[in-house]
């Protein structure tokens, strides 16, 4: 240990004094291998990004998907969530929208293939002002209402009224045909369509805040769900109309004789006869219907204790053959109890 001290001291001194050591005699390899950049055949220097061409192979080595693999995964994912017939569906949607626009445009000039004219009428003043926006047939004889439809709406020019009643000294009026809107104090309260004076299509009613309060679907004067029965297979001689509204027998019922004249009429309330029902003879002298019987039913479907009774009966000549005697009925009822 004593003999090595001088040698250790010398080496340490040399290091501290800055004398070169043996490790410093060799230059780094990086300085000896440097070379002049190789030019492109065009004479331009190579792009600094050219060295990244081998990145994809490196990514594969590391287990990271490359650009092509990611594209395949994206295509597979999209094919799973997007239907194969998307292009066909888009095409059909465009065609449907085009038809809707065309139909909306036609509604201004025609309805169900018949030319129409737009018109207005105004009734009242102030908060009670009622404005009706409607259309009439350009040719009033282009279509006719069915004889079994009770409510046929017309526009009477002289009085400026839209009604289903006949106004004296104003002729037959002009049949409503096409879109209809009714405003009260500036608010839309009712809208729908008419076909030759008969309610048609979807009808809606609103309150003062434009909230829907009622809606019905019609088809040329009768509720769209109604069942129509006929005497013949050609459906020309109607036998009866059973009103159906949202699956319930509700509304005006009508039955007809084989000659087309009205035979019976009354109202149903959820399958129960209510109010007065009238029956008619199969004759119509001078175009006037001849009643045969009036029967009174309960005022609504909930009055199950009410017993229907005949109010009046007539013969074919219009002579009264029976009339309900209220006082007598009360006496008989008291006697039974």
Q: How many other CB atoms are found less than 10 A from the CB of residue 276?
A: 13
- pLDDT > 80? residue 54: no
Backbone phi, then psi, for 117, in 5-degree steps?
-125, 135
Rounded distance between C-alpha atoms, residue 291 and residue 262, angstroms: 10
What percent of the chain stands above pLDDT 90? Answer: 49
Rounded distance between C-alpha atoms, residue 298 and residue 273, angstroms: 8
Rounded distance between C-alpha atoms, residue 204 and residue 197, angstroms: 17
Q: Is the pTM of this model over 0.85?
A: no
Tokens representing 128 are 């009670």
Q: Collapse the DSSP code of 274 into the 3-class scheme (helix H, G, I; strand E, B; otherwise coil) and give the result.
A: strand
- pLDDT > 90? residue 10: no
- Give the torsion through C-alpha atoms of 294, 299, 302, 305, to 10 deg: -60
- pLDDT > 90? residue 46: no
Backbone phi, then psi, for 31, in 5-degree steps?
-80, -25
Q: Which whole-number Å values give the CA distances from 60 to 57, 77, 110, 248, in the listed order?
A: 5, 21, 69, 70
| C-beta separation of 267 from 252 below 8 A | yes
* pLDDT digit string, tens, across residues 222-262: 999 999 999 999 888 999 999 998 899 999 999 999 999 99
Rounded distance between C-alpha atoms, residue 182 and residue 203, angstroms: 11
Q: Which segments within 35-113 are labelled E, that is strand?
A: 110-111
Q: Can you tell me which residue has the tokens 């209510």?
A: 274
What percent of the chain stands above pLDDT 70? Answer: 73
| C-beta separation of 115 from 139 below 8 A | yes
Residue 189's pLDDT band (boundaries 50, 70, 90)?
very high
| C-beta separation of 274 from 298 below 8 A | yes
Beta bridge partners of residue 216, listed in sequence order: 203
Q: Can you tell me which residue has the tokens 């003062």?
A: 208
* pLDDT digit string, tens, across residues 253-296: 999 999 999 999 999 999 999 999 999 999 888 878 899 999 99
């Amino acid at each position: 240990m004593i003999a090595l001290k001088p040698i250790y001291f010398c080496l340490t001194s040399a290091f501290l004094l800055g004398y070169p050591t043996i490790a410093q005699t060799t230059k780094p390899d990086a300085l000896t291998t440097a070379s002049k950049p190789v030019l492109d055949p065009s004479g331009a220097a190579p792009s600094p990004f050219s060295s990244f061409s081998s990145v994809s192979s490196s990514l594969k080595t590391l287990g990271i998907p490359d650009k092509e693999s990611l594209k395949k995964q994206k295509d597979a994912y999209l094919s799973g969530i997007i239907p194969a017939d998307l292009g066909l569906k888009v095409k059909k949607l465009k065609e449907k929208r085009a038809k809707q626009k065309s139909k909306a445009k036609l509604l201004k000039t025609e309805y169900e293939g018949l030319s129409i004219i737009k018109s207005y009428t105004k009734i009242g003043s102030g908060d009670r002002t009622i404005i009706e926006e409607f259309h009439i047939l350009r040719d009033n004889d282009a279509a006719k209402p069915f004889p079994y439809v009770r409510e046929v709406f017309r526009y009477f020019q002289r009085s400026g009224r839209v009604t289903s009643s006949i106004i004296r000294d104003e002729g037959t009026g002009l049949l409503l045909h096409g879109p209809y809107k009714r405003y009260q104090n500036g608010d839309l309260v009712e809208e729908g369509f008419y076909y030759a004076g008969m309610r048609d299509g979807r009808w809606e009613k609103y309150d003062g805040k434009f909230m829907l309060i009622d809606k019905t679907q019609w088809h040329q004067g009768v509720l769209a769900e109604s069942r129509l029965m006929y005497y013949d297979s050609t459906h020309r001689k109607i036998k009866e109309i059973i009103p159906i509204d949202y699956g319930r027998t509700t509304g005006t019922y009508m039955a007809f004789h084989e000659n087309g004249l009205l035979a019976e009429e009354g109202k149903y309330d959820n399958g129960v006869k209510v109010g007065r029902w009238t029956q008619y003879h199969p004759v119509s002298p001078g175009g006037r219907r001849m009643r045969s019987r009036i029967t009174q039913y309960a005022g609504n479907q909930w009055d199950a204790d009410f017993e229907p009774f005949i109010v009046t009966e007539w013969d074919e000549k219009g002579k009264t053959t029976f009339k309900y005697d209220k006082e007598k009925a009360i006496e008989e009822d008291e006697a039974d109890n």
